[in-house]
Amino acid sequence: MGSRILVSKRIYPEAVEYLCERADVEYHDSDKSYPAEELLRHLSDKEGVISQLTDRFSEEVVAALPSLKVIANVAVGFDNIDVEAATRHGIAVTNTPDVLTQTTADLAFALLFAAARRVSESERFLRAGHWQGWGIDQFCGSDIHHSTLGILGMGRIGQALARRANGFDMRVVYHDAVRAPEDIEQELRLTFVPFETLLSEADFVSLHVPLVPTTRHLMSTPQFALMKKTAVLVNTSRGPVIDEVALAEALACEEIAAAGLDVFENEPDIQPKLLELENVVLTPHIASASHTTRSKMCMMAAENALSALAGNRPPNLINQDLFPDLG
Ligand code: GLV
């Protein structure tokens, strides 16, 4: 009998098949996450789990699962997992980087476009039957080409967005805790600037940082005050990076012009004040949602889990301390 694996929520069938051929799989074929207690119960005899960002693995949870050896998250972000606690309990944690980079950057650019050119707002107007004919300043927004894009977090997705921006002749400024290598800065025509400079110079600010204690509410009232009144904020990272109440306030009093949000502080609940505003484009956490990419993410998580359960260092291991490099 193979290793016992729980698939906590619905994934692409090819990944289920791949797992079932190689392990003893319990499959929760549902889009609903197990409530915390049920998840614990289903995991009590498992050695591995294919998890999603709606599953929480706190210190308490991992401590209660002595047989668990690997948490293979179907996401690049892993803020749903207490990685330090997992490491202490000898549990490998893996994610799905790279495969979703381009797809996620595509959606960040789509949100930027939609917010700048008022795509959702004007469509709502048209569908409601309000359109009486062409007007000179109807739904005028702001230009994307030749504007300045500020990217917060110059990792893989930040770089993919910068590539797209180059095609639109945008000036790209960025800020990150760690400066990008010089060859990347040159190739992507990036200018490294302090955080405050980015906020004050950018026509578009796009967030590509992980959710960690230092990035929680990174964007709040003081930051919106530094931004241009014409600026657009885009978030495809994690909801809590933005203080949503402060953002709704900034949008309502036109401290900034618009926002495009794919992630929210309390998903799937949306801050009611945001729902009332016309100048915000809202999508339900779909940045990596192309069939090809989501399928690849599922396969990647399956491979990570099986690799760890075979005693190997899984390809996308986050807690490297579990398999120290000997060479
Ligand atoms: C999705 O949000 C991910 O982290 O992959």
Mark whether 78 and 181 lie in a shared domain. no
Residue 242 lies in a domain: yes
Query: Would the CB of 76 count as within 6 Å of ligand 1?
Result: yes
Given a cut of 50, the residues of the chain with pLDDT beneath it are 326-327
Check residue 93 and give its pLDDT.
98
Same domain, 126 and 266: yes
Residue 324 lies in a domain: no
**Catalytic residue of the set 4, 238, 244, 255:** 238
Q: Which atom of ligand 1 is nearest to the CA of 238?
A: 2
Give the CATH number, domain containing residue 300: 3.40.50.720
Q: Which among 26, 171, 267, 313 is annotated as catalytic?
A: 267
Judge if the beta carbon of residue 300 lies within 6 A of ligand 1. Answer: no
Find the domain containing 12 and state its range.
Answer: 4-99+291-309
Atom 5, ligand 1: residue with shortest CA distance: 75
Asked whether residue 322 is assigned to any structural domain, the reply reads no
- Residue 206 alpha carbon to ligand 1 centre in Å: 16
The pLDDT assigned to 327 comes to 40
76 alpha carbon – ligand 1 mean position (Å): 5
Residue 157: per-residue pLDDT:
98
> How far apart (Å, rounded) are the C-alpha atoms in residues 297 and 259?
28
Residue 298 lies in a domain: yes
- Residues of the chain by 3-state class (helix, strand, coil), percent to 5: 40, 15, 45
The answer to whether residue 314 sits within a structural domain is no
* 180 and 197 assigned to the same domain: yes
Same domain, 136 and 248: yes
The single residue of 265, 285, 294, 303 carrying the catalytic annotation is 285
Q: Do residue 222 and residue 112 come from a single domain?
A: yes
In a domain, 315, yes or no: no
Distance from C-alpha of 210 to C-alpha of 177, rounded to nearest angstrom: 12
Ligand 1 neighbourhood includes 77 CB (under 6 angstroms): yes
Distance set, CA 219 to CA 88, 92, 206, 267 (Å): 32, 32, 11, 18
Give the DSSP letter of residue 51: E
Question: Ligand 1 within 6 A of 50 CB?
Answer: no
Active site residue 267: yes
Amino acid letter, 112: L
Total domains in the fold of the chain? 2
Q: Rounded to the nearest whole angstrom, what is the distance from the C-alpha of residue 60 to the centroid of ligand 1?
A: 23
pLDDT tens for each residue of 153-212: 999 999 999 999 999 999 999 999 999 999 999 999 999 999 999 999 999 999 999 999
Centroid of ligand 1 to alpha carbon of 95 (angstroms): 9
* Sheet with 70-73, edge to edge strand ranges: 24-27, 4-7, 48-51, 70-73, 92-94
For ligand 1, atom 4, name the residue with the nearest CA. Answer: 77
Question: Are both 86 and 114 inside the same structural domain?
Answer: no
On whether both 75 and 145 belong to a single domain, the answer is no
- pLDDT for res 278: 98
Residue 36 is predicted with a pLDDT of 96
My answer on whether 68 and 149 are in the same domain is no
In terms of domains, do 56 and 27 share one?
yes
Q: Is residue 138 part of a domain?
A: yes
- At residue 321, the pLDDT reads 87
What does the alpha-carbon distance between residue 287 and residue 285 come to, in Å, rounded to a whole number?
A: 6
Tens digits of residue pLDDT in 282-318: 999 999 999 999 999 999 999 999 999 999 999 999 9
- Please check whether residues 110 and 194 belong to one and the same domain: yes
Task: Let me know if 278 is a catalytic residue.
Answer: no
Would you call 217 a catalytic residue per the annotation? Answer: no
Q: Is residue 210 part of a domain?
A: yes
Same domain, 128 and 267: yes
Phi-psi region of 186 (alpha: psi -120 to 50; beta: other; left: phi over 0): alpha
Nearest to 49 by CA among 35, 70, 29: 70
Going from the Cα of 226 to the center of ligand 1, the distance in angstroms, rounded, reads 29
Task: Assess whether the C-beta atom of 293 lies below 6 angstroms from ligand 1.
Answer: no
Co-location of 41 and 170 in the same domain: no
